[in-house]
Chains A and B, each alone.
Chain A
Amino acid sequence: MKRVEGLSKLTGRELYVDDLSVDGCLWGATVRSPSPRGRIRSIRFGDSVDWSEFTVVDHRDIPGSNSVYLIEEDQPVLAADRVRHLHEPVLLLAHPDRDSLRRAVAAVHIEVDPEPPVLDFRISPRPDQIQYGTDNVLKHLRIEKGEVERALAKAPHVIEGVYETGAQEHVYLEMQGMVAWEEDGVITVTGSMQCPYYIVDAFEHALDRPTERIRIIQSATGGGFGGKEEFPSGIALHAALLALKAGRPVKLIYDRSEDMAVSTKRHPSRVRHRTGVDADGRLLVQDIEVVLDGGAYVTLSPVVLSRSIIHAAGPYACENVRIDGRAMLTNSPPFGAFRGFGAPQSLFACERHMDRIAAELGLDAVELRRINLIREGDSTATGQVIRDGADRVAVMERALELSGFDARRAEHAVFNVAEHTCRRGIGLATFFHGAGFTGSGEVFLNSEVHVAGLPDGRVEVRTANVEMGQGTLTVFTQLVVDRLGVGPESVVIAPVDTAIVPNSGPTVASRTVMVVGGLVERACGDLRETLGLGADGRGEVLTLAIGAWHAAHPGEELLGRARYRQPEHIEWDDESYRGDAYGAYAWGAYVADVEVDLRTFAVTVRDFVAVQEVGRVLNETLARGQIQGGVVQALGWALLEECKWRDGALENWQLTNYIIPTTQDVPPIRVEFLETPYPHGAGGAKGIGELPFDGVAPAVANALAAAGAGDPRTIPLTPERVMDLVMGSSPPYEDSP
């Protein structure tokens, strides 16, 4: 099935929030902290502006609690007397004219008495830098399996390494934006978002009103990647506060520079491995420390940390594992959700480390993986026994075959001796990604889905999960078509409007197809049951039955419902962090074939092969597009996208100096799927949206190492960094933070 909204997007008819024209609308803007940390001493409004024309909102205008509700309540909606990061929102302004508004923002002078900021998450904070708990640790988590100390003492070989990954900006092509207005006592917001019910929760809290007086409507969303998971709640609140005070609709759209400078980014990481192996390469013990930079407030760091440590030991069987993870406070704008959500960071370290283990022991990197990849009946770091029927070794073998791994390696060896101005290398990464919320997370979400039979006989799917390019609308349509035998023209996906749709949870964690799609399937079944039909109640029979029901129940709603039920076999202990972390894992093996130009140290990816086992592919074009897009976005993270910092915030906040890949920076991405259906996923599918991010950076780094470009430990591997590696002048690694 072709993308159902494809033509609307191709013709430019699709309406994003900035395309919406709202009568009587004011423009809104945010005035921000000029300092990374301190007490606000004064706020002065400049003389060049007639302030009577403006709506001005500060923290005193917040009716409820001045906090953006998420996990903890530490992040203010608007800073009151102290600030904890550069660009922290302090005031809001609204005005009919956008240029006047821009000038007004520049005319507000906020004076901050500075306090010493924390700007490096790797360094233990001084007493005068403590801003959370006693040690600035936003979250600490630990996984333990077996007997690590004893195993380390006995291991014939112990290999250590420290690996670092940089932050990453999402660069969704449509910037953040919201429009808010009050209508009949209901505060209504429409805008670019992934999680409308997160915004409902945030509004309940900060605006002190019940959900019946809150309505959140997703507008067409031009990319999210996690950047529109939690961050929009703050913007929505800002637009709403302005609208409530002004008594008029307010449109708050970020331009690209503001968006890049102030919004969430991928958590930077530093991961340390200490691995005990025997002479044959079998993993005996994995001792891993993961440290993430969480930025100034807790926000989602505990969950990112959780996923990061659960994936940190890789898709390998090992009896003794210890993973200690900390998310640290710094005075940066909070880091947040970004495709992969902690797993890309720790899997980069794991997979780069595997190649280094192989190198130190004189083993083949492929063999090392073949020995250690999880087999049926092996358990993960959290003790989850894997018995899903997927052949992880076959995934790797297929990637090796498609990429011509052995032949390429041999060719490169010859090439590298003959050539003087460039070097080639090929590298592998094997990895995994758990789909859905961790452990009991899906139970906690308690997602609900409705499938309505409309009076005209069509079927309407009502979920809170958005289309942001990944294909939600198409796949949900497909699932209904398959389940109910009706044509696609008879299926409608309801606008994601909290006045209409139930809370089926956020559009995150690669759960939309697997989990929510599964609920859509069940709700279809429930609709059929409600109509008193059996399994043959499909197609025309069903349509007629819907019509007949409405004739018999005028003015009533015909709904099929489904609520999340955890598959029986899942057992997870949040206290000990042991058990079945995820219902399903997708498995991947990626191969990167690279060339380094020894004159410019630029890296060219000549070929990229992405093989993954994903349960079932429901839509070939959409699934392939997810993998290709994820790989290219991850290539950007691995090679091009460097965040430069000043006072803890992004300094290169323009697309001219924050470099994402163009068509000419990446090769065609060759994708292949293997399928072992997952019984609890819609149509047998597992989640795949984030998977591609986990395998790219380490495959590239391993390829560069194979090309003779030194020993990469840090990404992005920009030409400047590769130059240091090749010329051997990188500083020796400090193994302690």
Chain B
Amino acid sequence: MLDIQFTLNGKRISARIDEAERLLDLLRYGLGLTGTKEGCGEGECGACTVMLDGLPVNSCLIPAWQVRDREVETVEAVPEAALSSLHESGATQCGACTPGVVMTAWWVRRNRDVTESHTLRQLMAGNLCRCTGYDGIIEGLEAWLAETGGDREDVS
């Protein structure tokens, strides 16, 4: 067992972890934050996407000890008020891929300049969805990006 400290959703915390735990396991079972989902365990589907030092990553591919002294953000930190565009556009159906989609979309929203060199479909390609066919997600993200003045709610 190992003791680590890291920042989770803006708060510095300590956690006692098993060396064999992934960040995904620590979040879901150790800390009871079940918003982040497991969809494949191989880094293909993106359902487990969280933010690590401000970048979207697959938490199923990160041993928990690698986040010591780093900043982790999960879907639990996304303000509900920020989600209305995704709600309206039909970005979610069964919801299993949704937290991962929200995290990547939130990252795009907070780092708009990536949309100058990448299309939204490119940026969302690491989030597999089986229900929506992707139009609801992309249209929702477009609408979210078009929302003005709302960066207050994006402060974590």
Interface of A toward B, CB cutoff 8 Å: 2-3, 5-16, 18-19, 21, 99, 170-175, 220-225, 255-257, 468-471, 621-622, 624-625, 627-633, 654-656, 660, 662-664, 666, 668-669
Contacts and interface: CB of A to CB of B under 8 A. Distances in A.
Contact of B87 (A3, A21, A255, A256): A3
A225 B130 CA distance: 9
A224 B95 CA distance: 12
A120 B9 CA distance: 54
Contact of B92 (A10, A172, A225): A10
A256 B93 contact: no
A600 to B, nearest CB: 18
Contacts of A622: 90
B36 interface: yes
A10 B83 contact: yes
B68 to A, nearest CB: 22
7 contacts: A3-B87, A3-B92, A9-B94, A223-B130, A223-B131, A621-B90, A624-B90
A173 B95 CA distance: 9
Contacts of B36: 12
B130 A664 contact: no
Contacts, number: 172
B75 A628 contact: no
Given A468-B94, A655-B128, A669 B133 contact: yes
B132 A625 contact: yes
A660 B133 contact: no
B96 interface: yes
B2 to A, nearest CB: 16
A402 to B, nearest CB: 15
A662 B31 CA distance: 31
A12 B94 contact: no
Contact of B93 (A15, A629, A660, A669): A629
B88 interface: yes
Contact of A11 (B78, B127, B135): B78
A656 to B, nearest CB: 5
B92 A173 contact: no
Interface string B61-90: 000000000000011101010010011111
Given A10-B91, A12-B75, A662-B125, A628 B136 contact: yes
A172 B91 CA distance: 16
Interface in B119-148: 120-122, 124-138
Contacts of A7: 80, 83, 87
Given A225-B130, A628-B132, A10 B87 contact: yes
Given A11-B83, A173-B128, A16 B96 contact: yes
A660 B97 CA distance: 14
B114 interface: no
A7 B126 CA distance: 22
B32 interface: yes
Contact of B95 (A220, A621, A627, A632): A220
Given A12-B98, A174-B39, A631-B133, A99 B20 contact: yes
A97 to B, nearest CB: 10
B94 A223 contact: yes
B94 A660 contact: no
Contacts of B98: 9-10, 12
Contacts of B128: 171, 173, 655, 660, 662
B130 A633 contact: yes
A662 to B, nearest CB: 5
Interface string B16-38: 00001000000010001011111
A664 B134 CA distance: 9
Interface string B97-131: 11100100000000000000000111011111111
B151 interface: no
B94 A222 contact: yes
B41 A174 contact: no
Nearest to B102: A10
Given A10-B86, A11-B75, A16-B37, A470 B93 contact: yes
A3 B89 CA distance: 10
Contacts of A170: 130
Given A10-B83, A12-B98, A15-B34, A469 B39 contact: no
A173 B133 contact: no
B89 A621 contact: yes
A222 B36 CA distance: 13
B51 interface: no
A664 B136 contact: no
Nearest to B43: A656
Nearest to A468: B94
Given A10-B99, A654-B40, A660-B128, 5 more contacts: A3-B90, A10-B87, A172-B94, A255-B38, A255-B41
A663 B134 contact: yes
A6 B131 contact: no
Contacts of A224: 94
B44 interface: yes
Given A632-B134, A633-B133, A656 B90 contact: no
A487 B25 CA distance: 41
B126 to A, nearest CB: 8
A431 to B, nearest CB: 18
Contact of B136 (A625, A631, A662): A625
B40 to A, nearest CB: 4
Q: Which 5 A-B pairs have the closest CB atoms?
A: A12-B35, A222-B96, A469-B94, A9-B95, A469-B93
Contact of B39 (A11, A99, A256): A256
Nearest to B135: A628
Given A7-B83, A655-B42, A666-B133, A174 B94 contact: yes
Contacts of A655: 40, 42, 44-45, 128
Given A173-B130, A621-B89, A668 B135 contact: yes
